[in-house]
Amino acid sequence: MRDEVIENLEEEGAPPLPAPPCTVVIFGAGGDLTKRLLVPALYNLRRMGLLPDRFRLIGVDHGERTVEDFRQGLRESVEHFAKTRGAEAGAFDADAWQKVENAVEFMRADFNDPAGYQRLGEHLDEVERTHGTAGNVVFYLAVASRFFAPIALALAAAGLMRQERDSGRWRRVIIEKPFGTDYASARQLNEQLLSVLNERQIYRIDHYLGKETVQNLLVLRFGNGIFEPLWNRQHIDHIQITVAETVGVERRGGYYDRAGALKDMVPNHLFQLLSLTAMEPPNDFSADAVRTEKVKVLDALRFADAKHPGECAVRGQYVGGAVQGQPYKPYREELDVAPGSMTETYVAMKLTIDNWRWHGMPFYLRTGKAMTKRLSEISIQFKHPPQVMFRDTAVDKMIANRLVIHVQPDEGVSIRFGAKVPGPTVKLGRVWMNFHYFDYFDAAPSTGYETLIYDCMMGDATLFQRADSVEAGWRIVEPLFDAWRTDPYRNFQNYPAGAAGPQIADDLLARDGRAWNRMAWHPGESKRS
């Protein structure tokens, strides 16, 4: 029966087409992002038949290395990826990798040297002639954020971003976060990019939007008649969005101590999840229609007490403890972290959306490092039904329904509802109904970048941030930065590594008679795990 259902679903739409001929140029090709995520994603696209046959990959970096060394390093990374994330242990597809490897080239260049861009342009012309890539190029900026604008400006100055309508030739740039460090810098970066590129050439990537469950959120809401009629303040009590990590800052202490949990996670990842959860139905699934509705949510997003944003948010920093049995040293003892640092590794906040659908209903967001469990989820808590019918029974409290979208690590959806406990009296028990992608669809191993890279090649920007979305995210949190600068010790509390956060985060919800979902147990965990 299960196979029949899946077969019927697959028959409803044509399979995706391979991307058009193109070259991918990765600036910063010697970094971890390229080895751990980008090239494994290209390998997976090849396995899925979505990478074009006429394809080239040019790695650009300032380090000296041969093409053979570069290819060997990538192969080792992809083999490791296949063994650790493949559907079967050691499931490395040598044929698929060979096709990718044959397309790999390397070019040494200084990002600040105009001569390097001239050589790159000449090489792209040669690649177009010899490999039939049609002149289409994706420039992936896997570099530190300080290089985003200089590389884009240099590409344009060298004539490498010119597109041709008649031939259909396109040039696109993918930019990793952070998109600025505050509202002013984000706006400046957008102005610099848009001075030489048009918005349709810029793909601001957020790897959270590559998760199947995040993409499924739109289908869940707008493709099922049982959910959308209830998706409003009349039926929902509140919504929680959690992005928790068990890791500490690892080797990113220098960056993280300047950023902190708020800058690192909230204006991008958490606000993207929130906007998809709260947006109005778009007219269609075109990129501009979807992104416009998301921006409308951000334009209406407020701290619950707009005049005192510092009272609507709490923060903390992990101290020594243990995460899943592994000892952790305090944040202030991490490499490249200032000994007296007040940088938050955890933040939680209460916000509202000032529109008709959500007015007055709270959204609670939290994110942190060195926490109990790695977990990203969106939890929709529905209002309690009236108890009047059960007043003469053993039921002393009604069970609120809960819909949980599990983003990672175990992608799926869970629904909690009440059921009668077997026996002669009326008692209610909490039960969960779970859907897991892994159990049902046998989803292929993924880095989370496959869909995003493929969409960029196809010219579909739906899952990428637009300039106004980036600026709106920073504009929302700007008042909180100001409040923390004025009173750096306000609502700041340490928490032991391995905890679910500081006590003041629990107090934030307790003031409203609510509580965070427990992180120790997760209803979406697969039976296979």
Residues 256 and 145 in one domain: no
Query: Is 106 domain-assigned?
Result: yes
Q: What is the pLDDT of residue 396?
A: 57
In a domain, 43, yes or no: yes
Distance, CA of 433 to CA of 414 (rounded, Å): 6
Q: What CATH number should be reported for the domain holding residue 403?
A: 3.30.360.10
Whether residues 163 and 271 share a domain: the answer is: no
Residues 216 and 172 in one domain: no
Q: Is the pLDDT of residue 44 over 90?
A: yes
394 and 455 housed in the same domain:
yes
Task: Report how many domains make up the chain.
Answer: 2
DSSP string, 145-212: GGGHHHHHHHHHHTTTT--BTTTTB-EEEEEPSPS-SSHHHHHHHHHHHHTTS-GGGEEE--GGGGSH
CB 502 within 8 A of CB 518: no
Q: Which two tokens stand for residue 491?
A: 């609502």
Asked, for residue 104, whether it belongs to a domain, the answer is yes
* Residue showing tokens 């579909």: 460
What is the pLDDT confidence band of residue 528, given thresholds at 50, 70 and 90? Answer: very low
Half-sphere exposure of 55 (CA within 13 A, CB side): 24
What would the pLDDT profile of 127-160 be if each residue is shown by its tens digit? 999 999 999 999 999 999 999 999 999 999 999 9
Q: Which carries the bigger pLDDT value, residue 374 or residue 428? A: 374
Cα angle 277, 283, 287 (rounded to 5 degrees) comes to: 70
Q: Is the pLDDT of residue 522 over 80?
A: no
Supply the pLDDT for residue 390. Answer: 52
For residue 5, the model assigns a pLDDT of 44
Say whether both 214 and 172 belong to one domain. no
Residue 65 contacts by C-beta under 8 Å, 6 or more apart in sequence? 30, 106, 108
Tell me, rounded to whole angstroms, the distance of Cα 261 from its chain centroid.
Answer: 15
Q: What is the pLDDT of residues 221-267, one digit of tens each?
A: 998 999 999 999 999 999 999 999 999 988 888 889 999 999 999 99
What is the pLDDT averaged over residues 503-507? 97
pLDDT for the residue 9: 46
The confidence score (pLDDT) of residue 69 equals 95
**Phi and psi (nearest 5°) for 416?**
-105, 135
Mean pLDDT in the chain?
89
Name the strand (E) or helix (H) holding 472: helix 467-486
Residue indicated by tokens 């400006």: 153
Q: Are 90 and 55 in contact (CB under 8 A)?
A: no
In a domain, 91, yes or no: yes
Q: Are residues 216 and 165 in the same domain?
A: no
- Indicate the pLDDT class of residue 2, thresholds 50, 70 and 90: very low
What integer is the mean pLDDT of 62-70?
92
Look up residue 460 and give its two tokens.
């579909």
Query: Would you say residue 319 lies in a domain?
Result: yes
- 406 neighbors 357 (Cβ within 8 angstroms): no
Asked whether residue 264 is domain-assigned, the answer is yes
The single residue listed with the structure tokens 């600025």 is 180
Q: Residues 402-445: pLDDT tens digits?
A: 999 998 888 889 998 877 777 777 667 677 888 887 777 766 66
State the pTM of this model.
Answer: 0.91
State whether 162 and 265 are in the same domain: no
Q: Which range among 91-95, 124-128, 470-474 shows the weakest confidence by mean pLDDT?
A: 91-95
Distance, C-alpha 523 to centroid of its chain: 22
Provide, rounded to the nearest whole percent, the portion of the chain with pLDDT above 70: 90
Domain of residue 479, residue span: 209-510
- Look at residues 176, 196, 217 and tell me which one is the last residue of a structural domain: 176
What is the mean pLDDT of the segment spanning 466-494? 94
Q: What is the pLDDT of residues 188-211, one digit of tens each?
A: 999 999 999 999 999 999 888 887
Q: Which residues are catalytic?
A: 269
Strands 375-382 and 402-408 come out as antiparallel
**Domain assignment of residue 528, yes or no:** no
Examine residue 194 and state whether it is found in any structural domain, yes or no. Answer: no
Same-domain status, 29 and 168: yes
Per-residue model confidence as pLDDT tens digits over 312-332: 999 999 999 999 889 999 999
Q: Is the model's pLDDT at 78 over the cut of 70?
A: yes
CA nearest to 498, candidates 328, 261, 253: 328
* Claim to verify: residue 134 and residue 255 sit in the same structural domain: no
**Higher-confidence residue: 92 or 508?**
508
Task: Give pLDDT, residue 380.
Answer: 96
> Max Cα separation, the chain?
84
CATH number, domain containing residue 39: 3.40.50.720
Percent helix, percent strand, percent coil in the chain, to nearest 5: 40, 20, 40
pLDDT attached to residue 432? 83
In tens, the pLDDT along 170-191 reads 999 999 988 999 999 999 999 9
Minimum mean pLDDT range among 82-86, 96-100, 238-242, 430-434:
82-86
Q: Give residue for tokens 């899943």.
A: 324
Is it the case that residue 88 has pLDDT exceeding 50? no
φ, ψ dihedrals at 197, nearest 5°:
-125, 160
What is the model's pLDDT at position 129?
96
Same domain, yes or no, for 112 and 17?
Answer: yes
Q: How confident is the model at residue 89 (pLDDT cuts 50, 70, 90)?
A: very low
Question: Domain check: are 117 and 244 in the same one?
Answer: no
Cα Rg of the chain (Å, integer): 24
pLDDT, residue 442, reads 63
Average pLDDT over residues 15-39: 94
Strand (E) or helix (H) holding 419: strand 412-420
- Reply yes or no on whether the pLDDT at 452 is more than 60: yes
What is the distance between the alpha carbons of residues 324 and 421, in angstroms, rounded to a whole number?
Answer: 34
Confidence of residue 387 (pLDDT cuts 50, 70, 90): low
pLDDT at 462 (0 to 100): 93
Domain match, 112 and 238 both: no
